[in-house]
Amino acid sequence: MQSAINSLAVLSFLGTALLFFAFSALLKTVRELQAALVRAQSGAPAPTVIRSNARFRSDDGLPTFVLVVSEHCDKCRDRTRHLNAGAGATAAGHLVVLCATGCSDWISDAGITPIVDAELLGALGVGAMPSLVRYAPDGTEEWRRVVGSDEDLDTLLEIDSKTSNPVAMEVDA
């Protein structure tokens, strides 16, 4: 019985030591985050996400649909293939595929404009890919949505100018 109690005492001491080290590591992380926050607040203001872009303006009054893809993403390649296969024919606007590198060879349709520009991609601040961003004719961003399937892409491209909100389209359907 005494050996069982001694074993429990040793295990509780080891558990306490482990908790001490874990708490110490947590405090270190909090201090590093606080220091980074102070550095960020004292420096120049962070760049704002672009919500308007002159590159996506159109003079004909039609919106611009920008499919943001990555060359390392299989789903991005699938959405681009689907767009090439004629999915963009129903879009009432201009079609652009934007990537950082290497996606221009994915585009075979003359109606789709490939843009390979890592700086523009970073400035847009799109976090999940593939994403579809709709710009008004004046170059103002109207909405952005992740495109999870070919059906999502078709649905988002079929949104007319009267219903510029894809969430409203889903509710009405």
Predicted confidence band at 55 (pLDDT cuts at 50, 70, 90)?
confident
Residue 163 domain flag: yes
Residue numbers of the domain that contains 4: 1-46
Residue 170 has pLDDT above 60, yes or no: no
| Other CB atoms within 10 A of residue 83 CB | 29
Predicted confidence band at 167 (pLDDT cuts at 50, 70, 90)?
very low
Average pLDDT over residues 56-60: 90
pLDDT at residue number 46: 55
- 35 shares its domain with 90: no
- 72 shares its domain with 6: no
Q: Are 166 and 155 in contact (CB under 8 A)?
A: yes
Residue 104 domain flag: yes
- 91 shares its domain with 135: yes
Cα-flanking dihedrals φ and ψ of residue 153, to 5°? -60, -45
- 107 shares its domain with 154: yes
pTM for this structure? 0.63
- 41 shares its domain with 94: no
How far from chain centre, in Å, is Cα 1? 60
Residue 173 domain flag: no
- Residue 72 to residue 76: CA distance in whole angstroms: 8
Which parts of the chain fold into alpha helices (H)?
A: 2-42, 74-84, 118-124, 150-157, 166-172
- Residue 97 to residue 65: CA distance in whole angstroms: 8
Q: What is the mean pLDDT of the chain?
A: 81
- 162 shares its domain with 119: yes
Q: Of 57, 38, 69, give the one whose Cα is nearest residue 131.
A: 69
Q: Number of folded domains in the chain?
A: 2
Q: Residue 156 belongs to a domain with what CATH number?
A: 3.40.30.10
Q: Which stretch of 18-22, 102-106, 113-117 has the lowest confidence by average pLDDT? A: 102-106
Residue 115 domain flag: yes
In the block, residue with structure tokens 């985050």: 33
